[in-house]
Structure 1
């Protein structure tokens, strides 16, 4: 055959690059081959790749039509690749120091990595020795070699690793070969990707030891999990450790105990918080704030029970999607479930009446308690619980009302976030591949959400395909005082629930039409938001939220009568008198430790002049303050929901 004979040329495939251009390469070309086709420099710098958004090893073959991104040490994903390699160094160090350890899994995380082990007896004091061993492994600069082997060979190599064999049995259903990564004397079954050698791993710090169930299932054995982190340079690691130390200082579990806000007790069950009077005081203020917003926006409050027959959950679609996360039980011949969401109950209320187009929008609100059966090992304070309350809102509207209603919800959400001085970002999440509803409805809904964002001249990202299966949404994310990101409020359009519940209204044409349902929550869950506020403010709540707003400190027992007289002047606030037999210095220190926004100090001079001295949590103090002037200031500070005590800051 001649060289130009097409049969002598290898088959081609096409990949799509991030800028939308197409790259044509030979069939079987790897991610690294594709990088070299783009340019030799990029080929040499390639660490890994992303195929259709999935992080893969650079040796992974590309496939026709894939969206390809090349990962180098300048890429955002590089840190995850390096941390994955650091987790292997941890496992190698553990096996050097401990005999008969069984390996489980060791993935990277947002803040570092972990590795799970069985048959490992270790405590926090042992981490320093492991860190030193990891440093030696990094210094040895072992080449990290990738090897593809058959399932049969993998079984032989993993004969003494029961957890790896379990993983292998799952891989065998989909693959003829699997990959091992080897560094020095140590190897692991792993899909990768990894850096080229251990010497490329930056400084590593082991953080803590915890228990974790194999595969997250509490029916499985409890394993030992070692958490660590790694960064490209020492300064980044130091900054992380400083932020971590600050986060630990703000831990809501510790502050919640110190301030008597809540408890989670063994006798009541895991993930079931008990709110003590100070904690419930804060929650009540949060509830009142949202209820005022809802009242102004025309919401009607409804109430739904904690438990429903599972017929409702079958109809709503939650049974098939949330069954494993629901608490389900039988009463006689009927099956019931604690509600994981409030929306089906609200749809049932709407369905119980006949509606005209003139009646819409219908807006329901409920501070509804819901229940999710999270794994016990994942429960943590108020951040992940079994029982939590959503400040839920569901609207039933005509399609032509989408824009106006979303705009009003945005006003409410932004009001909430700005009240707490939270910096936020927004994203428009569009139709996912698996979805319900016509193209026309989706396009119209996405356009209307986009119009709301554009009209407000707001910056936002587009999250392609990240909408709910029932409709597009606007997601809010915000940062707390130390820069941690939190998922925030959301506005979601739903074309699924109205269809499942046969919801309808009579239109202007006297025909039945299906409403659009909007899901919205201004906080999300009270538990998660309360947790975030505790840590955001380090327990030093704004005056309007503080469980105790003012504490009156008599200098001596002789001033007790005047102290109670002054307290009565502030009885429209949460005020206490410290009547203990103690020195003023100790009383001031106690009020400061209890994070009380204001202290009123009264002694002989104040009693004689009929005034007070005022001290704030910043340890500033002013003497000869008129009672009426301070009272008027507190009224304004409370009603305006100011973020910091500012009587002495003017």
Structure 2
């Protein structure tokens, strides 16, 4: 192999050449006293660079030998630019458009495929350019920042890098690595950030090569984690390797042009992780980071992060006595009476809409024989995330999702085209065997419920059903005070079914989105393997993004379960399309998001503490109890503080407990049948009759429904 030959030929000289480079200088120990792996830094990294450069040189010579004939590059506005095949890059085209664009464009899209700005164009194409203000730009920026973090970690601690993506929540990035006995903490961050700052100042280019499997295995032969990834890649997968400065990393890319774009960089936290999420595998350290193109945005982010810490749902949930978790059932939360009030309100809100929107609520078993999961495909692809049981020498699994059970319900008798669409809704408890290190409050749990529903419809009904789900999402999220973004995720590289079916489904989703009338983006190639989907990300009051709602088309489960309905021509049977749909998503996760979104100040309709009656003295205690009971009878949550404390203290504690209304009653109110009403966080008060107060409560509740 070429790279092996070059490695042997230059073996004697490479140590001398690389020992003089800045990244090869090795300290004996880190400030924490942890010795670096000198062999790893002094030999492995130079070896990788040597191999990278050899392959890069060979590929460049090949490209230079190809004919550089003219190509047409079409921009989104229809403008056509001229370029040279195998020579012109998206960056060259950006420079022709404007200096500003060339300075700010982070990534491009060539015929729907994300493309490095400096990677040569190969043929006539449609070209889009993205800055940090786009999702594509931000994701690429943060993924590239993960490489800067990886470089810093590898250079500082001589660790073995594992994976380094941008986070799924779309804010920042992390890198997992194996450090042996070293445990990272906040005290290590200054050194990591200093090494990252050095990489940024050097303006290291992100360089790309394509390699064979054998070449990849040779480059990363000293890292068993990368070797495992390479061996698991499909045989027809193009393997790419990127370099920035001393870091050579296995990565599909793409990346920003160079490290100098990352003007602001910070480490956020360190935590433990398991290789591939498996508790039986190697224990890793995960470092989270955030970066921006300028310091101002980083400062704003860190300020918002500190603000968000004050409203962490776990902290607020404890203060308000809403829920708790016990070590005897990790990942499964106990909802206390006040927390259960909110939980039930959320489910009741969705159920009230089911009546209006044509959903039928069903209940399905929690446990199924594994034969069901073999039919659905989950036994092969999801088994490790399931809780399994052996009953009478047969294997069963607790359900991690409702869809296979709903397929059985559709299947239990002959269906007619007249019945479709059938909209099945299910709040059944779900269980997923999440790794203990991944459990995070209510946002990542083992036991949860979803406002789960599956719509079985004909192909010609897809558009109307999708439009109906979008209307439902819009209605609910407006009530919660969320803004949201929509993306259409289309057919991925690996997919099941016929292209014609996918094209029809994508066209129906496109038409539904256009009729819906809100801005949306296309997310090429990011659909599920079983069908296209619409991704909905919400933004809360702290401007954080979350994925809650789900809208996915599925052609595969109906096929796996052989679902059929009699067509209008009763001699013919047709297969339905299945739409997976959730509005809240996990009720637990939505509970956590709303608690932080409202900063613990629940709106009246959702509040577990809607009113408290505070008597001024013992003389008005009986009247306070009467008022409380009247409010209860009207269907609202009310308490009475009948302690002998001063009224000022009662009011103050009621405000801290986040009661929406504080009702003060004394002898005068008792004699007139009125209450003195204080609204949470407002100093002023007014006097109202009980009837007027209850009408006000009814009006405020109705405003949210």
**1:534 counterpart = 2:595:** yes
1:478 pairs with 2:541: no
- Structure 2 residue corresponding to 1:127, chosen from 170, 189, 204: 189
Q: SS of the counterpart of 1:487? A: strand
For residues 37-436 of structure 1, the aligned pairs below 5 Å read 87=146, 102-109=160-167, 110-117=170-177, 118=179, 119-128=181-190, 130-131=192-193, 134-135=196-197, 141=202, 181=243, 183=245, 187-189=247-249, 191=251, 201-269=262-330, 271-436=331-496
Query: 2:612 maps to what in 1?
Result: 551
Cα 1:61–1:449 change in 2 (3 A) is: closer
Match of 1:568 in 2: 629
Partner Cα separation in structure 1 for residue 154 and residue 611 of structure 2: 57
What SS does the aligned partner of 1:358 have? Answer: helix
Residues in 2 aligned to 1:147 and 1:298: alpha-carbon distance in whole angstroms: 53
Distance in 2 separating the partners of 1:364 and 1:241: 43
Could you tell me how far 1:231 is from its partner in structure 2? Answer: 1.8
Within the candidate set 541, 546, 562, 1:502 is matched to 562
* Structure 1 position 574, deviation (Å): 0.8
CA distance in 1, matches of 2:473, 2:602: 20
Matched residues in 2 for 1:457 and 1:177: separation? 41
Unaligned runs of 5+ in 2: 1-63
Q: Map Cα deviations across residues 142-178 of structure 1 (whole Å, 9 max, x no partner).
A: 7568698999999999898665676687799999998
Mean Cα displacement is larger for which, 51-60 or 528-537?
A: 51-60
Q: What does residue 4 of structure 1 align with?
A: none
Distance 1:581 1:103, change over 3 A: farther
Within the alignment, does 1:580 sit opposite 2:580 as a pair? no
- Note if 1:603 corresponds to 2:666: yes
More moved, 293-302 vs 543-552: 293-302
My pick for the range that moved more, 55-64 or 454-463, is 55-64
Shift of 1:614: 0.9
Residues 407-416 or 253-262, more deviating: 407-416
Q: Secondary structure at the match of 2:478?
A: helix
- Deviation, structure 1 residue 570: 0.9
Structure 2: distance between partners of 1:399 and 1:172: 33
Q: TM-score, normalization: structure 1? A: 0.82
Unpaired segments ≥5 residues, structure 1 = 1-7, 643-650
Counterpart-to-counterpart distance in 1, 2:108 and 2:511:
35
Deviates more, 1:357-366 or 1:443-452: 443-452
Distance 1:178 1:639, change over 3 A: closer
Q: Tell me: CA distance 1:351–1:603, structure 2 relative to 1, closer, same or farther (3 Å).
A: same
Q: Under a length normalisation based on structure 2, what TM-score does the superposition of the two structures give?
A: 0.76
CA distance, structure 1, for counterparts of residue 469 and residue 141 of structure 2: 42
Shift of 1:368: 2.0
Once residues 452 and 72 of structure 1 are traced to their aligned partners in structure 2, the CA distance between those partners, rounded to angstroms, is: 28
Q: Is the 2:131–2:138 Cα contact (8 Å) retained in structure 1? A: no
* Distance in 1, Cα, partners of 2:443 & 2:413: 38
Could you report, residue by residue, the CA deviation over 1:99-130 in whole angstroms, capped at 9, with x for unpaired residues?
A: x6555554554433334441334432443455
Q: Structure 2: how far apart are the matches of 1:161 and 1:382?
A: 35
CA distance 1:309–1:250, change in 2 (3 Å)? same
Q: State the number of aligned residues.
A: 629
* Equivalent of residue 680 in structure 2, options 617, 621, 624: 617
The more displaced of 318-327 and 46-55 is: 46-55
Residues 1:634 and 2:697 are matched in the alignment = yes
User: Which structure shows the higher helix fraction?
Assistant: 2
CA distance in 2, matches of 1:267, 1:505: 47
Q: How far apart in 2 are the matches of 1:461 and 1:195?
A: 21
After superposition, the Cα gap between the structure-2 partners of 1:16 and 1:340, relative to the gap in structure 1 and judged at 3 Å, is farther
How far off its partner does 1:386 sit?
1.8
Alignment pair present for 1:590 and 2:653: yes
* Aligned-residue offset at 1:93: 5.8
Instruction: Give SS of 1:619's match.
Output: coil
- How big is the shift at 1:83? 5.1
Q: Residue 590 of structure 1: CA displacement?
A: 2.0
Q: Report what 2:66 is aligned to.
A: 10
The whole-number CA distance in structure 2 between the counterparts of 1:74 and 1:419 is 28
Structure 1 residue 84, shift from structure 2 partner: 5.7
Post-superposition offset of 1:308: 0.6
Partner SS for 1:624: strand
Shifted more, 330-339 versus 568-577: the winner is: 330-339
